[in-house]
Structure formats: C-alpha cells, structure tokens
Structure 1
Amino acid sequence: MRVEDAAEPDMIAAEAAAGAFLKALGVETDSDHLRDTPGRMARAWAEMLTPRPFDLTTFPNDERYDELVLARDIPFRSICEHHLLPFTGHACVGYLPGERVLGLSKLARVVEHFACRPQTQERLTKQTADWLQDRLGARAVGVVIRAEHSCMTLRGAQATGSSTVTSTLLGHLRTDPRSRQEFLSLAGF
C-alpha cells in the first residue's frame, strides 16, 4: 500500500509570505545575509511539513510470531499547531503481530508521516497507534512518545530541558497488565 498525503506547496507564495512576515516583525531582508532568507525559510517549512511517501510493506506471519515487535528511540520532529514552533523527540512503537508482520523501517515512517504537519503530541501518539492498528490488524499496538516542545522551552514558561511523555496502548497492551508492563519496560519508560 502506497502512503501519500501532502499536496505540493506553492513555494512562490510561501517565499512572498515569509518575506512579508519578516517585514511585519521589523526584520529587514535587504542585507546580503538576509536577502535569501525568505526563500530559505519557505523551503525549510515546506520540508518540515511534507512527509515522504512510502510503501506500507507487510509480510505473512508464517512463523506465527506472537511476541512483541518493538522499535525504540525513533527520532522525529514536528510543529506545534498552537504556536507553529518545533517539537522534537523520540517514539517507541510496538505491536503484537496477527496474520502479518510489518517491515521494521515502516514503524519509523508512520511516525514521520503523522509528525510532518502542525500537530499536538497527544494526537501524534494516538494517530500513529490507530493507523497501525487499522492497517496491520495487530493483536495490540503501543506508542510512547517523549518530546521537548520549544513553545514551552523557548517562550512562555521557558522550562528548558523539560519533556512531555504521551502513550496510546491498544488491544492486549491496554487490557492485559502483564503485556502492558512488558511493553513499557522494553520501551524504557
């Protein structure tokens, strides 16, 4: 299954808007150092908000593997939808296979897919888990995300070094205390 999501950005309009935004904030872009900044700014935002397409590769679970499959420390970056400031962190994504198993790199690709849009960490966690559950037919899915939000560390509370942890546990990881504990232990939380 091919996963594609985003429309092509209008880079000409984005660059003009970036220039207007900087000017509205009193930042003149006439100097050699700032002349190309609106274009660089537009390209940077387009890159941060555009997920790469990927194929959701699954394979038959011929071995009938029935233990946790878990990928830890998946790095990601996203944009806080309330302030449009970046937040970065690591995700742990795991599942108990059913009839099919997933290509391991796809766990990171799914996180990236949902992180490349204005987002809340809570929604990112739930969307990743729900999407995998719906498409994989797993007996359980778990997602734990730890992130640092620059909207909290660089402004407002200025709580430098603080992080936020969210989790979504579905299926046996939610209902079976032993499975839940195993997942959280392996996830490192």
Structure 2
Amino acid sequence: MIHENLTPLYRDLLSNLGEDPEREGLQDTPKRAAKAMQYLTQGYHQSLDELVNGAVFSSDTDELVIVKDIELYSLCEHHLLPFIGKCHIGYLPQGKVLGLSKFARIVDMYSRRLQIQELLTKQIAEAIQEVTGAAGVGVIIEAKHMCMMMRGVEKQNSSMRTSVMLGQLRASQNSRQEFLKLLD
C-alpha cells in the first residue's frame, strides 16, 4: 500500500514542524494523513478507459448537452493546498453520448492529482472530446484556492474562473454564446 510508504514521511514532517508525533492527539495522524493524501491523489491510478467503462452510447442527439455544478476538490501543485469549486461541461454530441455519471468521474479523476486549474480545465475538455468524439466541448471551472486565501496575499473573496472551448464551441460564436447563456 502506498500510504504505508507515506506514513513515516508524515511522522518526519510533524517532527520537523516542532511537534511530538507520539503525543496522544498525533499518534495516528501520520497514518491518517498518508491515507488522506493517497485518496486525494488517486487520479494518478485511474485511466480514462477504465473510468468510462463503455458508457458511451449511440444517439442521434446533436443539440448542446450541459452538465453543470459538478463539485471538484483538488490540490494545488505549488503549495499542496486545496482548491475547491465547480465544473460546468457542455458538448455537442456527434453520434455518441456519455453516461451522465461519467462526467463527474472524469472531473474527479483529473482533480485528484496535483494540479493547476488551467491544466485541469484543459484535461477535462480533452477527455470529453476523446471519449465522445463531440463536435464541440466547453468546460468552465470556478474555484477558490486556499493558497490564495490562507497564505500569501490572504484574499478571502477571490476566485478563479478558467475555460476551454474545443471544436465548434471554439469556432462558432453562436454555439459558444448558447453554452454560456445556458449556464446562467
């Protein structure tokens, strides 16, 4: 198990912070922290093919499909602090649709890696494109970053919004506007 390799590292971290890892409240913390980190980074051990598991279905639908407000939790690769937000996905099917729960699973898989929001947005869009062969894909992520809120400039009300548009959602102003309008 990976967390068994991480446990002594968390024990050393606590010691280097000036804590006593043997005190009552911290005795199991290295193991719990290691298990938590393993869970928060489980996306490294998942693949898109395994995750989708054949849940792509033939369909004659060619109108915009939107799944919005998918919660996401990730860790900033610069500080290992969380960023938390929502992901909105739209796509223009072209003969295939994706099972609804798979959108959330794709968001989770890429979120559960050390990330920057810009790359996360791109990875999700490209994965939806790859799996569905859609005529267009749009992904917007809105998130609050603890590295901006808890340290450094400490701006509590700041948030970041990123978008990636592929195919027709990038090329067609009308398609892009429809996607953005339907998010309201």
User: What is the TM-score when the length of structure 1 is the normalising length?
Assistant: 0.90
Contact 1:144 1:187 (C-alpha < 8 Å) held by counterparts: no
Alpha-carbon shift at residue 161 of structure 1 (Å)? 2.2
> Which residues of structure 2 form unaligned runs of 5+?
none
1:61-108 deviation digits (Å, cap 9, x = unpaired): 1xx211111110000100100111111100001100001111011111
Contact 1:91 1:145 (C-alpha < 8 Å) held by counterparts: yes
Question: What letter matches 1:46 in structure 2?
Answer: Q
Which one of 85, 90, 93 corresponds to residue 94 of structure 1? 90
Alpha-carbon shift at residue 13 of structure 1 (Å)? 1.6
Task: Give the aligned partner of residue 18 of structure 2.
Answer: 26
1:132-188 deviation digits (Å, cap 9, x = unpaired): 112211000000000000000000010112110000001111111111011011123
Q: How many residues align?
A: 178
Contact 2:2 2:38 (C-alpha < 8 Å) held by counterparts: no
Alpha-carbon shift at residue 56 of structure 1 (Å)? 4.8
Contact 1:87 1:149 (C-alpha < 8 Å) held by counterparts: yes
Contact 1:125 1:167 (C-alpha < 8 Å) held by counterparts: yes
Q: Is 1:44 the equivalent of 2:36?
A: yes
Runs of 4+ in 1 over 4 A off after TM superposition: none
Alpha-carbon shift at residue 22 of structure 1 (Å)? 1.2
Task: Give the aligned partner of residue 2 of structure 2.
Answer: 10
Aligned to 1:158, the other structure's residue is in SS state coil
Task: Give the aligned partner of residue 58 of structure 1.
Answer: 56
Q: How does 1:31-180 map to 2 (within 5 A)?
A: 31-51=23-43, 54=51, 55-61=53-59, 64-180=60-176
Partners in 2 of 1:134 and 1:13 — Cα distance? Answer: 35
User: What is the TM-score when the length of structure 2 is the normalising length?
Assistant: 0.93
Alpha-carbon shift at residue 30 of structure 1 (Å)? 2.0
CA RMSD of aligned residues (A): 1.2
Question: What letter matches 1:59 in structure 2?
Answer: F
Q: How does 1:174-189 map to 2 (within 5 A)?
A: 174-188=170-184
Partners in 2 of 1:130 and 1:36 — Cα distance? Answer: 40
Partners in 2 of 1:134 and 1:44 — Cα distance? Answer: 30
Question: What letter matches 1:116 in structure 2?
Answer: R
% same residue: 43
> Which residues of structure 1 form unaligned runs of 5+?
1-8
Higher helix share: 2
